[in-house]
């Protein structure tokens, strides 16, 4: 691995000088990796613990940009959070009555903080509050969630562009029958499921459209049960939620390893031959992205799920054609693995890639073409024909951690790869590249 310095301009028009990382000649990948905590679980757990009436110790906590934004917001709301060590925090909850009432909360580009806090503060805030973020967050749509909150009696105003943050919550959520379009992001649904138990009146939440990333909704429901919240699901897309509920602390809560991040190690283990053991997530996982293993096996990988870890031992890859709507984050890894596979790979039904940290469909298509691949970009799909020989490429990462980690797999090609702004991985996995160096 070689580090160099070169100028890089972020896709979102924030010029800066950023390092580049060149990866080349990786021929093996073996040993053991302990995954960082899941971003999705960590930020949900922090908010749920803050809503409890007692003390909760959160273990295996992810320390990253996204969790830092949630920690800052909760502290601004008056929640006491003690950092016991690098991966353990103790949260003294406030029972949904925030000790402080800040005028504004800045959430960077943390969607797992913006969406749930918008809904929960609409249910609990005693004074108007504005939620804002960085330039990219102000380009990420939130209209479907706001429409649901308005239907439930809240008063929410956009402060700049209609349909996007920043937004101000002026009047609390009342409950009742609420519809939410789940075809863009499951985070809107998860946010409402976390908020509606806190309002005084009962609610009936109806999901419309083809719901994306359904496993993330199941993850939220599982966590809500662990924190004492009862929700009745009487149809797949309809929930009845009693009002006036209180979150109760499970005393301690262990945060699973990030199943999305496991996909990079699974890919590296295949390309590098293994054996590689990935600890922190396995057959018992509540994360839908564990389904990545099944699709990877269809590509020809040798991978075994155990209760709390995964083993991978190489394989010869062939292209697949798959609907990956249920695992959109992990699905990105298949785009770079496709370059090493025999035959065509089609990644379908991933339209919500376009509203993530960047427009991932367009960014992925653009960067894959630099390697010599033929790529067809559709509204909700990519079709990838690998090149006869992978070309060296300098990959723009668009300030998107997952693009940087996905394209690191090209280090196993003869040509290698240069990745711009590798430090963008700090969003969810600050030591990813040092771990890659250690086991390759």
The C-alpha atoms of residue 178 and residue 208 are separated, in whole angstroms, by 10
- Regarding whether 222 and 93 lie in a shared domain, the answer is yes
pLDDT at 1: 44
- Regarding whether 423 and 279 lie in a shared domain, the answer is yes
Q: Which is it for the CA torsion 1, 259, 275, 320, positive or negative?
A: negative
Domain boundary among 254, 275, 294: 254
Residue linked to tokens 């499921």: 193
Query: In which band, very low, low, confident or very high, does the pLDDT at 11 lie, cut at 50, 70 and 90?
Result: very low
Share of the chain above pLDDT 70, in %: 96
- Regarding whether 227 and 80 lie in a shared domain, the answer is yes
CATH code of the domain covering residue 10: 3.65.10.10
258 is catalytic: no
Residue linked to tokens 């427009």: 359
Residue linked to tokens 């062939």: 318
Q: Which of 144, 258, 289, 329 is catalytic?
A: 329
Q: How far apart are the first and last CA of the chain?
A: 10
Question: Could you tell me the two tokens for 182?
Answer: 């789940």
pLDDT at 8 over 90: no
Share of the chain above pLDDT 90, in %: 91
The C-alpha atoms of residue 260 and residue 331 are separated, in whole angstroms, by 9
The C-alpha atoms of residue 303 and residue 270 are separated, in whole angstroms, by 8
Element holding 130 (H helix, E strand):
strand 129-132
User: What DSSP designation does 251 have?
Assistant: S
- Regarding whether 365 and 278 lie in a shared domain, the answer is yes
- Regarding whether 292 and 356 lie in a shared domain, the answer is yes
- Regarding whether 356 and 291 lie in a shared domain, the answer is yes
Helix, strand or coil for residue 182?
A: coil
pLDDT at 184: 87
pLDDT at 35: 95
Query: In which band, very low, low, confident or very high, does the pLDDT at 17 lie, cut at 50, 70 and 90?
Result: very low
Q: Which residues are annotated as a binding site for 3-phosphoshikimate?
A: 39-40, 44, 185-187, 213, 329, 352, 356
Domain boundary among 204, 234, 254: 254
- Regarding whether 221 and 126 lie in a shared domain, the answer is yes
- Regarding whether 263 and 241 lie in a shared domain, the answer is no
The C-alpha atoms of residue 147 and residue 180 are separated, in whole angstroms, by 8
pLDDT at 5 over 50: no
**What's the mean pLDDT when you consider all of the chain?**
93
HEC per residue, 337-393: HHHHCECCEEEECCHHHHHCCCCHHHHHHHHHHCCCCEEEECCCEEEEECCCCCCCE
- Regarding whether 193 and 322 lie in a shared domain, the answer is no
Q: What is the pLDDT of residues 231-247, one digit of tens each?
A: 999 899 999 999 999 99
- Regarding whether 134 and 11 lie in a shared domain, the answer is no
pLDDT at 14 over 60: no
Q: What is the pLDDT of residues 61-79, one digit of tens each?
A: 999 999 999 999 999 999 9
Q: Considering only CA atoms, which of 170, 124, 119, 168 is closest in space to residue 148?
A: 119
- The total of structural domains in the chain comes to 2
pLDDT at 13 over 50: no
- Regarding whether 50 and 32 lie in a shared domain, the answer is no
- Regarding whether 323 and 435 lie in a shared domain, the answer is yes
Query: In which band, very low, low, confident or very high, does the pLDDT at 355 lie, cut at 50, 70 and 90?
Result: confident
Residues 254-259: what's their mean pLDDT?
96
The C-alpha atoms of residue 152 and residue 225 are separated, in whole angstroms, by 23
Report DSSP letters for 270-337, one per residue: HHTEEEEEEES-STT---GGGGHHHHHHHTTEEEEE-SSEEEEEEE--B--EEE-TT-HHHHHHHHHH
Residues 222-227: what's their mean pLDDT?
98
Residues 401-418: what's their mean pLDDT?
97
The C-alpha atoms of residue 206 and residue 204 are separated, in whole angstroms, by 6
Domain boundary among 239, 254, 269: 254
Q: Which residues are annotated as a binding site for phosphoenolpyruvate?
A: 39, 111, 140, 187, 360, 402, 427
Element holding 167 (H helix, E strand):
strand 167-171
The C-alpha atoms of residue 53 and residue 227 are separated, in whole angstroms, by 11
pLDDT at 428: 87
Residues 274-279: what's their mean pLDDT?
96
**Domain enclosing residue 19, as ranges:** 2-36+257-439
Element holding 195 (H helix, E strand):
helix 186-195
Distance of CA 217 to the CA centre of its chain: 13
How many beta carbons lie within 10 A of that of residue 54, not counting itself? 14
pLDDT at 274 over 80: yes
């Amino acid at each position: 691995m070689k580090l160099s310095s070169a100028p890089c301009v972020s896709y979102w028009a924030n010029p800066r000088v950023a390092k580049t990382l060149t990866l080349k000649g990786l021929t093996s990948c073996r040993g053991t990796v302990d995954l960082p905590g899941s971003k999705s679980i960590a930020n949900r757990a922090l908010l749920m613990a803050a809503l409890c009436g007692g003390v909760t110790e959160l273990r295996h906590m992810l320390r990253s940009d996204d969790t830092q934004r949630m920690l800052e917001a909760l502290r601004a709301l008056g929640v006491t959070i003690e950092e016991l060590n690098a991966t353990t925090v103790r949260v003294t909850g406030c029972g949904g009555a925030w000790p402080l009432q800040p005028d504004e909360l800045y959430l960077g580009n943390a969607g797992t903080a913006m969406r749930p806090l918008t809904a929960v503060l609409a249910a609990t805030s005693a004074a108007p509050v504005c939620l804002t973020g960085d330039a990219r967050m102000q380009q990420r749509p939130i209209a479907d969630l706001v429409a649901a909150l308005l239907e439930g009696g809240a008063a929410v105003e956009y402060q700049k562009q209609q349909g996007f943050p920043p937004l101000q919550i002026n009047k609390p959520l009342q409950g009742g029958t609420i519809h939410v379009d789940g075809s863009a992001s499951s985070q809107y649904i998860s946010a409402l499921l976390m908020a509606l138990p806190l309002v005084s009146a009962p609610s009936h939440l109806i999901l419309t459209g083809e719901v994306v990333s359904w496993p993330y909704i199941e993850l939220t429901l599982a966590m809500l049960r662990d924190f004492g919240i009862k929700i009745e699901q009487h149809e797949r897309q309809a929930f009845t939620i009693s009002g006036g509920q209180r979150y109760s602390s499970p005393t301690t809560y262990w945060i699973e390893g990030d199943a999305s991040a496991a996909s990079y190690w699974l890919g590296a283990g295949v390309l590098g031959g293994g054996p590689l053991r990935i600890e922190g997530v396995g057959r018992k996982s509540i994360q839908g992205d564990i389904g990545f293993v099944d699709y990877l096996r269809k590509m020809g990988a040798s991978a075994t799920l155990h209760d709390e870890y995964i083993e991978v031992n190489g394989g010869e890859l062939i292209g697949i054609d798959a609907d990956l709507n249920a695992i959109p984050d992990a699905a990105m890894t298949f785009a770079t693995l496709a370059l090493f596979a025999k035959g065509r790979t089609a990644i379908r039904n991933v339209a919500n890639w376009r509203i993530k940290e960047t427009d991932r469909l367009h960014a992925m298509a653009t960067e894959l073409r630099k390697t010599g691949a033929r790529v067809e970009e559709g509204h909700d799909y990519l079709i990838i024909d690998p090149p006869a020989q992978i070309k060296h490429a300098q990959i723009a990462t668009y300030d998107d951690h997952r693009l940087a980690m996905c394209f690191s797999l090209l280090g196993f090609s003869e040509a290698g790869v240069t990745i711009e702004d590798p430090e963008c991985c700090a969003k969810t996995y600050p030591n990813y590249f040092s771990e890659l160096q250690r086991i390759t």
